[in-house]
Amino acid sequence: MRPPHGGVPGRVGLAFLAYAAVRPDVTAQLRGDTARLVRYVADLVRAGQGAATGRSRVDPEAAAAGLLATMEGLGIYLLNGHLTPEQALAALDAQLSLIFERHP
């Protein structure tokens, strides 16, 4: 099932990434933005580790990069109809459970 907007925001984002792949000037800016996002998510993982909800053996930077890459891939699978939103959410939840402990 497609979202009401037909996936337009995701398609625009994907088109931008394809554009950036062939434009070094755009890629440089995008690389910096991505690095900041990875650091932000890594800080969230560290905060979870400090609160005893994050798995202590997980490397925060690697977990952040993997989580963001997973989300990008799931977005593409959703756009192409390979996964339903429920399947994508279950896949994301599975990845999060590798990083964070579950507490009742």
d(CA 66, CA 96): 10
pLDDT at position 2 is 53
Alpha helices in 23-59 (DSSP H): 24-50
Burial class (CB in 10 A: 0-12, 13-18, 19+), 97: exposed
pLDDT at position 24 is 85
pLDDT at position 35 is 95
* Token pair listed for 80: 């192409």
- Distance, first Cα to last Cα, the chain: 32
pLDDT in tens, the chain (104 residues): 555 556 677 778 778 778 888 888 888 888 889 999 999 999 999 999 998 888 889 999 999 999 999 998 998 898 888 999 999 999 999 999 999 986 55
d(CA 42, CA 20): 24
